[in-house]
Amino acid sequence: MLSTILTIYLLITILFCFFRIKVGLMMFLIYIVIVPFVKFLNFGVNFLNLILIVAVFFQYKVKSLDFTPLKPFIFLYGAQLIMIPFHSSVPIDYQLSMIRSDFMSSLLLPFAIHNVMHNDKKTVSSFTITMLCIIIVTSGYSL
C-alpha cells in the first residue's frame, strides 16, 4: 500500500517536472530527502534523476543552462576514470557502474536545482523554504 502511494507521488512529481519544473523539483527534493529508498516501478533513483535532467532540458534551452558548477566535479570524475586501470582487485565494469551511479546521484539533482534558480530568481526563496521544512521534519523524525 505504501509503495503504491509513493509510486503515485513520484508519477505526479514527474508530470510536474515537465509542466511546472519548480514544483516538480521541490516535490522530488522532498521525496529524496525524507523517503529512505527510491523505487519507481522497478527503476531506481538514477532513472528519476535522468528524467529530471530531460525535463530541465525540455523546459529550458541548452544555451540558457549554466554548466559552471559541474566543472570541478567533471574533473574529479575524469581523474577517477583515469585511475580505474590501476585498481586490480575490483572489476572494471563494477568501477564504471559505480562512477556512473555516483555521478548521476550526486550531481544531476543539484544541477537541475541550480539551473532552475539561475533562470528564475524567484525560486530561490521557494527552495529555501522547502529545505527549511525538510530540515525541520527530518530533525523531528530523528528525535
- Map residue 8 onto helix, strand or coil: helix
Give the residue-averaged pLDDT of 8-25.
88
| Gap between the Cα atoms of 78 and 83, Å rounded | 9
In degrees and rounded to multiples of 5, residue 9 shows phi and psi of: -60, -45
Nearest-10 crossing angle of helices 21-34, 2-19: 150
pLDDT of residue 56: 85
Nearest-10 crossing angle of helices 45-59, 2-19: 20
| Gap between the Cα atoms of 94 and 24, Å rounded | 32
pLDDT digits (tens, 9 = 90+) for 53-111: 888 888 887 777 788 888 898 898 889 889 888 877 888 888 888 888 888 888 888 88
Angle at CA of residue 125, ends 118 and 57, nearest 5°: 30
Q: Model-level pTM?
A: 0.80
Residues 6+ apart with CB under 8 A from 49: 104, 105, 108, 109
